[in-house]
Amino acid sequence: MTDFNNENRGAIWKNEKRAKDTDADFTGELDVNGTKFYLNAWKRKPEASEKAPALTFSIKPKSARQGDVPF
């Protein structure tokens, strides 16, 4: 079986650990040219303009600080 290449791809899932309104709605991982990143995303607020993005993102390198809990 061939290994799947995840380079330059990412995925997000519903944040099951969300405890307060400011926590990300979705969390995941992203790979950019072999560098791994944590990915957080928030849904657009109901009162936001229709021209606003449906999600906003925050991206942080996984190697930024050892021992950090990403979410």
3-state secondary structure 43-64: ECCCCCCCCCCCEEEEEEECCC
Which phi and psi (to 5°) does residue 46 adopt?
Answer: -55, -35
Residue spans per domain, the chain: 10-61
Q: What is the pLDDT of residues 9-63, one digit of tens each?
A: 999 999 999 999 999 999 999 999 989 999 999 998 888 888 887 888 888 888 7
Q: Evaluate whether 9 touches 20 at the Cβ level (below 8 Å).
A: no
pLDDT at 68: 52
6 Cβ contact list (under 8 Å, min separation 6): 31
Partnered with residue 35 across adjacent β-strands are: 32
Strands 35-43 and 26-32: antiparallel
Q: Looking at residues 57-70, what average pLDDT do you find?
A: 69
